[in-house]
């Protein structure tokens, strides 16, 4: 699938590329990332290949990520209008100010105005709530976001890193009151992080939200760089929890990933990205890159088709342990379907249920 074969995000008409360019690496203020010129080159290469979906946040590199995008695209209307710019509110950039972060009306409206200034645009295409704020009533957040949409400062809304029950509450509340609905759900999802399949993914499918996974390579652990043979030889990455995730199960996943990549003549990173993009509910996977080489390698994942046998191997080795009642629900068809096949899902008649009409009282 080429980058310019666009897909609609959730239950909306917004067309986005199947790979979204993550811009957290734009700027070096966090001690890593790309300088201004390299960031602009990465951005130009992505757009030149047909991409149109950018993801940033007010807090990324202390606001510099948004400014790099604004300097390069925002000040040129003919460029800006062709791009879907997504940014986020929640994080505070003003130490000591209790209302500078979170999802309350004062905070999120101020964050929006500041992002518009840095991005040098008068509207944000997709505005994400970065994290769940348990100190703010969800109706306050959703009404304030709806006001931004009605004011023309925001086009679409989405949530990131929020419990499924709270996202569902927000979505139903918006639908009931006629407010702007959520069309996107941004969550961590990869071969090494599949617990979202218990609640978040099914919720997104049911409530009309397109999933945009972040960290599909698990902070680089699924690139092939980390193997059993090189265990302990790598320094801590930019996130301390990255290498802490190198458990025996992660190494088992990496072992199969390396084998599959070799069998189909691809790279581990491309296979891992292709796996995520093929999952139910996933609309556009967020890919990051500090160099043009990394970007080109990641974009190559759009051409990867994982054969059924190899796909089954990846699914099996990465199968997660889900929270209750996920494991129980696997077997409910046997209780309800009576041996029939419904919507492609087959069932068996359990031995403790009536086997024919003579066994029923």
**88 found inside a domain:** yes
Residue 237: pLDDT band with limits 50, 70, 90: low
**334 found inside a domain:** no
pTM, 2 dp: 0.94
**186 found inside a domain:** yes
Percent of the residues in the chain that have a pLDDT greater than 90, as a whole number: 82
In angstroms, rounded to a whole number, what is the distance separating the alpha carbons of residues 204 and 164? Answer: 9
What pLDDT, on a 0 to 100 scale, did the predictor assign at position 258? 97
What's phi and psi for 262, nearest 5 deg? Answer: -65, -40
**Strand, helix or coil at 7?**
strand
HEC states along 64-114? HHHHHHHHHHHCCHHHHCCCEEEEEECCCCCCCCCCCCCCCHHHHHHHHHH
49-81 pLDDT tens trace: 999 999 999 999 999 999 999 999 998 998 999
**327 found inside a domain:** no
Q: List the domain range (segments joined by +) for residue 209.
A: 7-316
**136 found inside a domain:** yes
Q: Which of 6, 46, 60, 226 is catalytic?
A: 60
344, 262, 279, 283: which is closest to 318 by C-alpha? 279
Residue 234: pLDDT band with limits 50, 70, 90: low
Residue 133: pLDDT band with limits 50, 70, 90: very high
Q: How many domains does the chain have?
A: 1
194-217 pLDDT tens trace: 999 999 999 999 999 999 999 999
What average pLDDT does the segment 6-19 reach? 98
Active site residue 123: no
Say yes or no to pLDDT of 1 above 80. Answer: no
**357 found inside a domain:** no
CATH number at residue 272: 3.20.20.100
**30 found inside a domain:** yes
Say yes or no to pLDDT of 317 above 90. Answer: yes
**331 found inside a domain:** no
């Amino acid at each position: 699938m080429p980058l310019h074969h666009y897909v609609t995000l959730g239950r909306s008409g917004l067309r986005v590329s199947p790979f979204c360019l993550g811009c957290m690496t734009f700027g070096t203020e966090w001690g890593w990332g790309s300088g201004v010129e390299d960031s602009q080159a990465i951005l130009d290469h992505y757009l030149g290949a047909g991409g149109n979906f950018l993801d940033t946040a007010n807090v990324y590199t202390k606001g510099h990520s948004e400014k790099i995008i604004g300097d390069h695209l925002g000040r040129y209307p003919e460029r800006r209008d062709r791009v879907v710019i997504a940014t986020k509110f929640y994080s505070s950039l003003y130490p000591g100010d209790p209302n500078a972060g979170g999802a309350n009306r004062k905070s999120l409206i101020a964050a929006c105005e500041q992002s518009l200034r840095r991005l040098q645009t008068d509207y944000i295409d997709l505005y994400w709530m970065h994290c769940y704020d348990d100190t703010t009533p969800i109706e306050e957040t959703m009404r304030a976001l709806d006001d931004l949409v009605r004011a023309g400062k925001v086009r679409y809304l989405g949530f990131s890193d929020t419990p499924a029950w709270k996202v569902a509450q927000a979505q139903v509340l918006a639908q009931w009151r006629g407010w702007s609905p959520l069309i996107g759900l941004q969550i961590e999802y990869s071969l090494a992080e599949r617990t979202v399949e218990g609640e978040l993914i099914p919720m997104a499918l049911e409530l009309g939200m397109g999933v945009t996974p972040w960290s599909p390579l698990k902070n680089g652990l699924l690139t092939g760089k980390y193997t059993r043979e090189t265990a302990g030889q790598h320094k801590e990455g930019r996130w301390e929890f990255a290498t802490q995730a190198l458990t025996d199960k992660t190494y088992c996943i990496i072992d199969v990933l390396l084998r599959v990549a070799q069998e189909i003549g691809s790279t581990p990173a491309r296979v891992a990205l292709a796996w995520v993009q093929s999952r139910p509910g996933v609309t556009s996977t967020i890919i990051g890159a500090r160099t043009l080489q990394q970007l080109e390698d990641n974009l190559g994942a759009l051409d990867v088709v994982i054969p059924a046998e190899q796909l089954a191997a990846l699914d099996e080795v990465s199968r997660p342990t889900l929270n209750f009642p996920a494991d129980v629900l696997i077997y409910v068809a046997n209780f309800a379907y009576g041996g029939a096949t419904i919507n492609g899902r087959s069932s068996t008649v359990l031995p403790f249920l009536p086997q024919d009409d003579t066994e029923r009282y």
